[in-house]
């Protein structure tokens, strides 16, 4: 599990909140990659788009449609924040697949901050838009009256568990995937065949690592998508608490 260890960039001293670390470095690289994709590649806005401009435009349209479909027209004003979340997570996930890279989204400290920001944001927004009426989302009026208090307690508990599940799902999946790759990579030299005086790793071990790596490439996108779509669902609850 040494691949998930947070280390300072300079020296081996104590890590404080202001200490530049490998997490800081790869988060910064993710931001630079996003700027390169969304700002620099679209600065000329060619009628016949380049590959990078096409990716930026497709990503923009994909996330905008997601927000509009789930949250309605009222959710469009919050699109920039949701787009930022998606781009940071998906970029950090893919950067983490590079050799010797650090996957920042495998740390609960990173994902928890994003999940708490979403939780607090939608909760405050719900009270700002609806006042005390926002609490109506916990009262299941369609259920029989004796069951409503019980269901209200369950709804409240599930609401406050949201940031926990929201953050652990992303961090857990990224950490598990990278750990599996590391395990297969460690076993690869043990599965060998003799060739003369040397040893060669068998094609079977290489295929296994390649398959897991391909799966992790898919997971990197899916987990960013899941985090984003859950954010849209929570936002919809704040905009339309009685639906």
Q: Each residue of 211-232: pLDDT tens digit?
A: 888 888 999 999 999 999 999 9
- Give the percent of the chain with pLDDT over 70: 90
Average pLDDT, the chain: 85
* Residue 17, CA distances (Å) to 14, 23, 85, 101 in order: 10, 12, 22, 21
Give me the pLDDT at residue 137, please: 84
Instruction: Output the pTM of the full model.
Output: 0.86
pLDDT digits (tens, 9 = 90+) for 135-169: 888 887 777 888 888 988 998 999 999 999 999 99
Q: Are 84 and 208 in contact (CB under 8 A)?
A: no
Give me the pLDDT at residue 212, please: 84
pLDDT digits (tens, 9 = 90+) for 96-137: 888 888 889 998 989 999 999 999 999 999 999 988 888 888
Task: Determine the 3-state secondary structure of 166 from DSSP.
Answer: helix
Give me the pLDDT at residue 38, please: 85
């Amino acid at each position: 599990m040494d691949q998930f260890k947070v280390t300072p960039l300079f020296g081996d001293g104590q890590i404080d909140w202001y200490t530049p670390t490998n997490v800081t470095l790869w988060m910064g690289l993710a931001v630079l990659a996003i700027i390169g994709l969304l700002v620099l590649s679209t600065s000329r806005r060619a009628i016949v788009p380049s590959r990078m401009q096409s990716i930026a435009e497709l990503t923009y349209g994909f996330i905008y449609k997601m927000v509009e479909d789930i949250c309605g027209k009222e959710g469009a004003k919050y699109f920039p924040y949701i787009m930022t979340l998606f781009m940071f997570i998906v970029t950090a996930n893919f950067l983490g697949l590079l050799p010797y890279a650090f996957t920042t989204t495998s740390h609960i400290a990173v994902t928890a901050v994003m999940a708490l920001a979403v939780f607090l944001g939608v909760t405050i927004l719900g009270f700002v838009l609806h006042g005390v009426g926002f609490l109506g989302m916990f009262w299941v009026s369609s259920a029989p009256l004796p069951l409503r208090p019980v269901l209200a307690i369950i709804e409240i508990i599930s609401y406050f568990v949201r940031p926990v599940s929201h953050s652990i799902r992303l961090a857990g999946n990224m950490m598990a995937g990278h750990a599996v790759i590391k395990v297969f990579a460690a076993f690869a030299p043990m599965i060998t065949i003799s060739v003369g005086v040397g040893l060669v790793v068998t094609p079977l071990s290489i295929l296994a690592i390649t398959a897991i790596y391909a799966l992790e490439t898919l997971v990197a996108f899916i987990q960013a998508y899941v985090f984003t779509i859950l954010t849209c669902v929570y936002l919809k609850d704040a905009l339309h608490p009685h639906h």
